[in-house]
């Protein structure tokens, strides 16, 4: 999953194992980020991944991986195909669960021995063997140095590299309990003769229970994290591994990796469509809910596009592949979603800053706690002072703080993808709720974007002749109005009104937002808006009540000139999307100022705006004018979102704080925006703002909980109200609580 850009900067995603808390992620970012040749690195604790860009000529990927290994972690390049085939477990849930089970079996004798010391269970028979210090030592040693070995290794490597993380806290706490108990067994002067120390005077049970609870927390955390990746795994599972290809007039089942663009694919009822393509033969209902979020199946026939990953419900289709492999809509969706989840929101910087200094502070606080109890509150009582210091070490681990933001972004962006909304980076989830002004393009955003010719006025020639010349001139343009004129001529030809095919077009030129100029059959044809014709020296267009009526009705009008003379006009009508008016009302109710920006004539723009409830309109806007308007609003201190089709609106989309492309699925690769609405209507914008607001609410809840939890729990540990095993349990469940709170976003 890596690409090399023309500037020789390579971007790569690494799977990193061994991270246990936010301090680990911060440490990797700091060390790797300082290496020569590394442009940028962002470590995502929730995903156990790092997104990195580097210059191959200055540093190699192997060098980076080796450096990460020196820090106490392992790293390897992430490949999306691994998740697609379900062969990886990034959180090692099975391994973690196995270690937990083994550790729990070692802990059971200690739990049984403890039963005799509690009122409710004092009548339970406890074998003398379980109270024997040597037996306890035999049980605790493999747990401390076998099951706990990974913590020792990572703690040593962290300290060696000048850092401290959760592993350091765990090792310090459990080692203190283990070695102090060992000391008591062999020092009769302390009141415990070798082999005669009573169970209640030793702390082997504390070290074993802490290790077990830590692994229990890791197992729960792994399960929860794996659940947060559900939406991403669902996208991967939409990819079929094979396709039925027509080669040499024979059907062959081949691996999807061996399918090339242009080949003919056969898709039968009940099968997933493996590629992006155009239907050559057949008719079927296609379930596109997994791509667009729209639950109603779409009827498709010959000549229409289909999207990879969608489901053929009925009918056999013969499809010509136009997008295969990483160029399919589904592959682009997966790529965008992974980029969003690998990125880091600005709010995460605060948590990283706190986490980076938290562990050293807690170690110092634990030392002060031990000294205070040993020298002041209970002079000479080593065991009591040690218990309280251990509790401080364990309760204050910043795991929950480090997971608060990335986990919420992971779940929020995943839920958005299920609804057909793709955030390119996690930061846009944070920025979108602050949007004050929303600029809306008209064609394809508020309207259907599929105009049709419904009236025409010709001067000094027949309507058929004018339409023929206009269609010939517009045939190379991708503008929706141009396509509608070409389709109108082709329809007339098919029904007998036109006698010839499209004429040859030469010297074609187009100006975005204005019009076109071309030579057709030796005649210079100029078509576009009024200003475009005036720029080419065409005499002022005569006043016409007919044209005025078109504009008042909200029609698009294309003016035409042939050989430098005014030749007539074509009226096109674009239907307003049924969802536009209610969506705009909802956006306004959310507190946003909604403005229409369009290149259409003022009367046309005002007519459409009035129908959908928009009061502020900017008309006859060229692409550069839209971008200038965005810049002006930003200079006024406003947060601006631009919503458009991602083509003519590209400058404004790039200039806005948040660019939103309204796409019909297959245009996803062309979207020059921060957010892509796959369903293609403004309801997606309402949902995007709603999800981003809820995501930010959950992030703030998690951060407040994490900070409040530590602020509240540490005093209890310092004052002796939390036993070490209770502190360890609370620490583990604080991380799980943060993850579970983030999982609520799956129902947003």
Q: Give 601-630 pLDDT, tens digit per residue.
A: 788 888 889 999 999 999 888 888 888 999
| Residue 402 predicted with pLDDT over 80 | no
DSSP character at residue 228: H
pLDDT score of 639: 94
Percent of the chain with pLDDT over 90: 20
DSSP character at residue 138: H
Residue 714 sits at the vertex; the CA angle it makes with 172 and 203, to the nearest 5 degrees, is 40
DSSP character at residue 272: B
pLDDT score of 629: 94
pLDDT band at 342 (very low <50, low <70, confident <90, very high): low
Those residues whose C-beta lies under 8 Å from the C-beta of residue 357, and which sit 6 or more positions away, are none
pLDDT band at 86 (very low <50, low <70, confident <90, very high): very low
pLDDT score of 296: 67
pLDDT band at 498 (very low <50, low <70, confident <90, very high): very low
Residue 422 sits at the vertex; the CA angle it makes with 421 and 424, to the nearest 5 degrees, is 155
Q: Is 657 a catalytic residue?
A: no
Q: How far apart are CA 168 and CA 8, in angstroms?
A: 39
Q: How far apart are CA 546 and CA 601, in angstroms?
A: 15
Q: Mean pLDDT over residues 407-433, rounded?
A: 83
Q: pLDDT tens for residues 454-467?
A: 899 998 888 888 99
pLDDT score of 665: 46
Dihedral angle over CA of 159, 161, 165, 166, nearest 10: -60
Residue 617 sits at the vertex; the CA angle it makes with 612 and 620, to the nearest 5 degrees, is 120
pLDDT score of 294: 61
| Residue 485 predicted with pLDDT over 70 | yes
Nearest to 232 by CA among 52, 51, 96, 46: 46
Mean pLDDT lowest among 10-24, 568-582, 635-649: 10-24
DSSP character at residue 722: S
pLDDT score of 697: 93
> Helices marked H in 442-526 — which ranges?
463-474, 480-494
| Residue 392 predicted with pLDDT over 80 | yes
Mean pLDDT lowest among 231-245, 404-418, 552-566, 642-656: 231-245
Mean pLDDT estimate for the chain: 81
Q: How far apart are CA 621 and CA 398, in angstroms?
A: 52
pLDDT band at 70 (very low <50, low <70, confident <90, very high): confident
Written as six digits, the tokens of 598 are 């369009």
> Helices marked H in 524-649 — which ranges?
530-535, 545-552, 580-589, 602-612, 623-635
Buried b or exposed e, range 373-388, using 16+ CB within 10 angstroms: bbeeeeeeeebebbbb
- At residue 187, what are phi and psi to the nearest 5 degrees? -130, 85
**Rounded to an integer, what is the distance from CA 24 to the centroid of its chain?**
22
pLDDT band at 668 (very low <50, low <70, confident <90, very high): low
pLDDT score of 122: 60
Percent of the chain with pLDDT over 70: 84
Buried b or exposed e, range 525-553, using 16+ CB within 10 angstroms: bbbbbbbbbeeeebeebeeeeebeebbee
Contact 154, 167 (CB under 8 A): yes
Q: Mean pLDDT over residues 33-56, rounded?
A: 85
| Residue 189 predicted with pLDDT over 70 | no
DSSP per-residue letters across 142-184? HIIIIITHHHHHHHHHHHHTT---HHHHHHHHHHHHHHHHHHH
| Residue 638 predicted with pLDDT over 90 | yes
Written as six digits, the tokens of 372 are 């205070």
Half-sphere exposure of 274 (CA within 13 A, CB side): 27
- Bridge partners of 438, per DSSP, are 594, 641
Contact 320, 266 (CB under 8 A): no
Q: How far apart are CA 214 and CA 731, in angstroms?
A: 9
Q: Mean pLDDT over residues 277-290, rounded?
A: 85
DSSP character at residue 599: S
Contact 391, 731 (CB under 8 A): no
pLDDT band at 356 (very low <50, low <70, confident <90, very high): low
pLDDT score of 116: 60
| Residue 355 predicted with pLDDT over 70 | no
Q: How far apart are CA 244 and CA 309, in angstroms?
A: 15
pLDDT score of 496: 52
Q: At what angle do helices 22-33 and 61-70 cross, to 10 degrees?
A: 130
Mean pLDDT lowest among 180-194, 220-234, 415-429, 639-653: 180-194
Contact 472, 674 (CB under 8 A): no
Nearest to 170 by CA among 215, 200, 205: 215
Helix/strand/coil (H/E/C) assignment for every residue in 368-428: HHHHHHHHHHCCCCHHHHHHHHHHHHHHCCCHHHHHHHHHHHHHHHHHHHHCCEEECCCHH
- The 10 Å Cβ neighbour count of residue 654 is 14
- The 10 Å Cβ neighbour count of residue 247 is 10
DSSP character at residue 668: G
Dihedral angle over CA of 535, 539, 540, 541, nearest 10: -100
pLDDT score of 667: 57
Residue 95 sits at the vertex; the CA angle it makes with 170 and 729, to the nearest 5 degrees, is 35
Long-range CB contacts (< 8 A, 24+ apart) of 76-79? 76/14, 76/15, 77/1, 77/2, 77/12, 77/13, 77/14, 77/15, 78/1, 78/12, 78/13, 78/14, 78/15, 78/49, 79/1
Contact 474, 527 (CB under 8 A): yes
Q: How far apart are CA 659 and CA 640, in angstroms?
A: 9
What is residue 579's three-state secondary structure? coil
| Residue 197 predicted with pLDDT over 60 | no
Mean pLDDT lowest among 157-161, 581-585, 594-598: 157-161
H-run or E-run covering 266? strand 264-267
Q: Mean pLDDT over residues 35-61, rounded?
A: 85
pLDDT score of 435: 94
Contact 445, 480 (CB under 8 A): no
pLDDT score of 241: 82
Q: Which of 93-102, 554-563, 582-591 tops mean pLDDT?
A: 582-591
- At residue 145, what are phi and psi to the nearest 5 degrees? -110, -10
Pairing of strands 658-662, 675-677: parallel
Q: How far apart are CA 529 and CA 711, in angstroms?
A: 65
Q: How far apart are CA 68 and CA 76, in angstroms?
A: 10
Nearest to 525 by CA among 459, 472, 572: 472
Phi and psi based region of residue 20 (left: phi greater than 0; alpha: psi -120 to 50; beta: remaining): alpha
- Looking at 352, 441, 645, 649, which residue is catalytic? 441
| Residue 133 predicted with pLDDT over 70 | yes
| Residue 1 predicted with pLDDT over 60 | no
What is residue 653's three-state secondary structure? helix
Contact 303, 274 (CB under 8 A): no
Q: Mean pLDDT over residues 198-202, rounded?
A: 52
**Rounded to an integer, what is the distance from CA 520 to the centroid of its chain?**
48
Written as six digits, the tokens of 322 are 């136009």
Contact 25, 406 (CB under 8 A): no
Written as six digits, the tokens of 702 are 């998690």
DSSP character at residue 129: G
Q: Mean pLDDT over residues 339-363, rounded?
A: 69
Q: Mean pLDDT over residues 345-359, rounded?
A: 69
Contact 246, 217 (CB under 8 A): no
Count, residues in the chain: 748
Written as six digits, the tokens of 445 are 């955003």
Q: pLDDT tens for residues 436-448?
A: 999 999 888 898 8
Written as six digits, the tokens of 578 are 């049924």
Phi and psi based region of residue 619 (left: phi greater than 0; alpha: psi -120 to 50; beta: remaining): beta
Query: Which residue's structure tokens are 């040690």?
Result: 386
- At residue 85, what are phi and psi to the nearest 5 degrees? -95, 0
186 or 618: which leads in pLDDT? 618
pLDDT band at 343 (very low <50, low <70, confident <90, very high): low
| pTM metric for this prediction | 0.67
Mean pLDDT lowest among 113-122, 391-400, 689-698: 113-122
Mean pLDDT lowest among 9-18, 282-291, 463-472: 282-291
Nearest to 575 by CA among 384, 409, 442: 442
């Amino acid at each position: 999953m890596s690409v090399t850009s023309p500037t020789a900067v390579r971007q790569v995603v690494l799977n990193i194992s061994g991270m246990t808390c936010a301090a680990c992620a911060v440490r990797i970012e700091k060390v790797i980020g300082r290496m020569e040749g590394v442009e940028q690195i962002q470590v995502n604790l929730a995903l156990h991944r790092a997104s990195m860009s580097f210059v191959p000529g200055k540093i190699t990927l192997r060098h980076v991986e080796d450096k990460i290994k020196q820090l106490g972690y392992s790293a390897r390049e992430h490949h999306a195909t691994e998740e697609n085939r379900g062969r990886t477990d990034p959180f090692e849930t099975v391994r973690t669960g196995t270690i937990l089970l083994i550790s729990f079996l070692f802990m059971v004798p200690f739990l049984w021995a403890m039963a005799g010391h509690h009122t409710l269970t004092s009548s339970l028979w406890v074998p003398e063997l379980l109270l024997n210090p040597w037996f306890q030592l035999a049980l605790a040693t493999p747990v401390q140095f076998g099951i706990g070995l990974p913590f020792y290794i990572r703690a040593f490597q962290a300290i060696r590299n000048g850092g401290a993380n959760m592993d350091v806290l765990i090792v310090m706490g459990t080692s203190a309990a283990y070695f102090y108990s060992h000391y008591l067994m062999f020092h009769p002067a302390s009141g415990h003769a070798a082999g005669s120390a009573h169970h209640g005077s030793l702390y082997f049970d504390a070290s074993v229970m802490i290790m077990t609870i830590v692994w229990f927390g890791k197992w729960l955390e792994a399960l929860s994290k794996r659940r947060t990746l559900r939406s991403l795994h669902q996208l991967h599972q939409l990819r079929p591994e094979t396709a039925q290809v027509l080669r040499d007039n024979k059907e062959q089942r081949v691996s999807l990796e061996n399918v090339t663009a242009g080949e003919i694919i056969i898709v039968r009822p009940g099968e997933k469509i493996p590629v992006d393509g155009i239907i050559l033969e057949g008719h079927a209902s296609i379930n596109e809910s997994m791509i667009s979020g729209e639950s109603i199946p779409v009827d498709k026939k010959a000549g229409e596009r289909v999207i990879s990953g969608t489901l053929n419900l009925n009918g056999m289709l013969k499809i010509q592949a136009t997008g295969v492999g990483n160029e399919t809509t589904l592959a682009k969706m997966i790529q965008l979603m992974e980029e969003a989840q690998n990125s880091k929101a600005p709010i995460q910087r605060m948590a990283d800053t706190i986490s980076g200094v938290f562990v050293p502070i807690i170690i110092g606080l634990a030392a002060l706690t031990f000294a205070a109890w040993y020298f002041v509150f209970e002079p000479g009582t080593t065991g009591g002072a040690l218990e309280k210091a251990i509790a401080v070490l364990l309760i204050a681990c910043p795991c929950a703080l480090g997971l608060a933001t990335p986990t919420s972004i992971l779940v929020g962006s995943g839920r958005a993808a299920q609804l057909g909304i793709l955030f390119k980076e996690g930061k846009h989830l944070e920025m979108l709720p602050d949007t004050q002004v929303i600029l809306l393009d008209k064609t394809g955003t508020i309207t259907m974007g599929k105009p049709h010719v419904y009236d025409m006025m010709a001067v000094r020639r027949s309507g058929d002749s004018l339409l023929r010349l206009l269609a010939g001139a517009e045939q190379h343009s991708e503008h929706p109005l141009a396509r509608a004129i070409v389709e109108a001529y082709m329809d007339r030809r098919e029904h007998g009104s036109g006698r010839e095919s499209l004429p040859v077009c030469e010297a074609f030129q187009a100006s975005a937002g204005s019009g076109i100029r071309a030579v057709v059959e030796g005649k210079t044809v100029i078509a576009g808006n009024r200003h475009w014709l005036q720029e080419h020296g065409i005499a002022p267009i005569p006043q016409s009540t007919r044209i005025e009526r078109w504009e008042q009705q909200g029609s698009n009008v294309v003016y035409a000139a042939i050989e430098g003379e005014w030749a007539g006009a074509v009226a096109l009508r674009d239907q307003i999307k049924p969802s536009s008016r209610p969506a705009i009302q909802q956006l306004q109710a959310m507190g946003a100022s909604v403005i229409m920006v369009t290149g259409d004539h003022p009367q046309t723009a005002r007519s459409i705006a009035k129908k959908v409830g928009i009061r502020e309109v900017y008309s006859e806007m060229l692409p550069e004018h839209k971008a200038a308007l965005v810049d002006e609003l930003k200079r006024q201190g406003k947060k601006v979102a631009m919503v458009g089709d991602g083509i003519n609106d590209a400058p404004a989309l790039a200039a806005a704080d948040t660019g939103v492309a309204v796409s019909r699925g297959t245009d996803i690769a062309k979207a020059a925006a921060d957010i892509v609405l796959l369903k293609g209507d403004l309801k997606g914008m309402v949902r995007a703002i709603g999800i981003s607001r809820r995501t930010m609410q959950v992030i703030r809840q998690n951060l407040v909980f994490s900070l409040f939890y530590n602020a509240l729990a540490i005093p209890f540990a310092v004052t002796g109200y939390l036993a070490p095993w209770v502190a360890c349990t609370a620490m583990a469940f604080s991380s799980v609580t943060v993850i579970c709170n983030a999982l609520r976003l799956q129902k947003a």
